[in-house]
Structure 1
Amino acid sequence: MCAGTVEFVMVRQDDPLAEPLLAELGLEYRARYGDLSGTEYADMRSYPAEQFAPPGGVLVVGLSGGIPVAGGAFRRLDASTAELKRIWTSSEHRGRGYGKLVVAELERIARERGYRRVYLTTGPRQPEAVALYLSTGYTALYDRALPAEQVGVHAFEKQLGAAG
């Protein structure tokens, strides 16, 4: 199925538009990883909100018909690298290509802000995320021949071209 029309809006971490996506993401992580205490997945708001605020970062929500269907964020990792975080598509809207649209929008904004590289990590129990990043041109920074649980955190990177 093809992605429908999505309008991206930049929001703060505490914006009501981001709430349903972050809440569902937290539930998904708990279902996949069990007890998350002490991990970065324990609280979807564990990073200070200012890390995802301009000019160094951003949090976007994709709206379709005014309904939040997908979202994601990045924060400044270093002067030339943005780190993608919290890429998510609502369970009701999966399989429509929204994840690719979120990644493309975050890359576009990162490029505009002068970043030349994007870095991200995902967990070993998120094969859909691994497939998304590989399909959108990311390079795995781990041995893909190893079992996912043995790898642990799956790191990726992508070089961005110049803006415009």
Structure 2
Amino acid sequence: MTDSILDTTPLDPRAQPLIAALTIEYERRYGDYFGEPAGQELLRYPAELFAPPHGAFLLLLRNGETIGGGAFKRYDGQTAELKRVWTRADLRRQGLARRILLELEARASRQGYRRLYLTTGFRQPEAANLYLDSGYAALFDTRLDPEAYGHLPFGKDLREPGQTSALEDLRAAHPGAVAG
């Protein structure tokens, strides 16, 4: 069994299993909860946003087969926004998403970003737990029902992990987001 990370784009045919599985998962978890088919979210961003020097798109391959992936794009001059962190459903709970997350963090840091920002859906508790367990600060009140937010924002200072003072503007960008 050989795993490798591939830097590529969402247009790469090897990315299609990731995109297809995400579409199915989003549709299953959310349907049209947000006012449109959940799979539409995947079409929201042009592929070039995930290309260097401002972005990245990674696939995790096992023996040449796509088993995971993730991406980031520029959010602002010091912040990259993570998108599409995913692992194949039958291979979850093996640390693959954490590996992808670490790869994305390293690339974002090398590309000059100081912070990472992301949102995940309220019906994805395993993703929220991954981010919390990986040192991301919840930019919302974790005592409230996550459905009250819809999208759950998280942030991480790459230079000083654990510091949250550099994340306050990200917290302020979300109405109703308060210290968690």
**Separation in structure 2 between the aligned mates of residue 93 and residue 67 of structure 1, nearest angstrom:** 12
Pick from 100, 110, 113 the counterpart of residue 102 of structure 1: 100
Structure 2 counterpart of 1:76: 74
Q: Is there any run of 5+ residues in structure 1 with no aligned partner, and where?
A: none
Between 61-70 and 129-138, report the one with greater CA deviation.
61-70
Amino acid at match of 2:25: E
Structure 2 counterpart of 1:135: 133
Structure 1 counterpart of 2:147: 149
TM-score of the superposition, structure 1-length normalised? 0.91
Structure number with higher relative contact order (C-alpha < 8 Å, ≥ 6 residues apart): 1
1:5 positional shift: 5.3
**Separation in structure 2 between the aligned mates of residue 52 and residue 23 of structure 1, nearest angstrom:** 18
**Separation in structure 2 between the aligned mates of residue 104 and residue 5 of structure 1, nearest angstrom:** 18
Kept after mapping to 2: 8 A contact 1:143/1:151: no
**Separation in structure 2 between the aligned mates of residue 33 and residue 40 of structure 1, nearest angstrom:** 6
Kept after mapping to 1: 8 A contact 2:57/2:70: yes
1:161 positional shift: 2.0
Between 38-47 and 107-116, report the one with greater CA deviation.
38-47
Q: Is there any run of 5+ residues in structure 2 with no aligned partner, and where?
A: 161-180
Pick from 39, 45, 48 the counterpart of residue 46 of structure 2: 48
1:132 positional shift: 0.5
Aligned residues: 159
1:28-75 CA distance string (max 9 Å, x none): 000000126537742423201110011100100001121111100000
How big is the alpha-carbon RMSD for the aligned residues of Structure 1 and Structure 2?
A: 1.7
Structure 1 residues 40 and 73: CA distance shift in structure 2, 3 A: farther
Structure 1 counterpart of 2:19: 22
Kept after mapping to 1: 8 A contact 2:26/2:38: no
Structure 2 residue matching 1:149: 3-state secondary structure = helix
Q: Which structure is higher in helix share?
A: 2
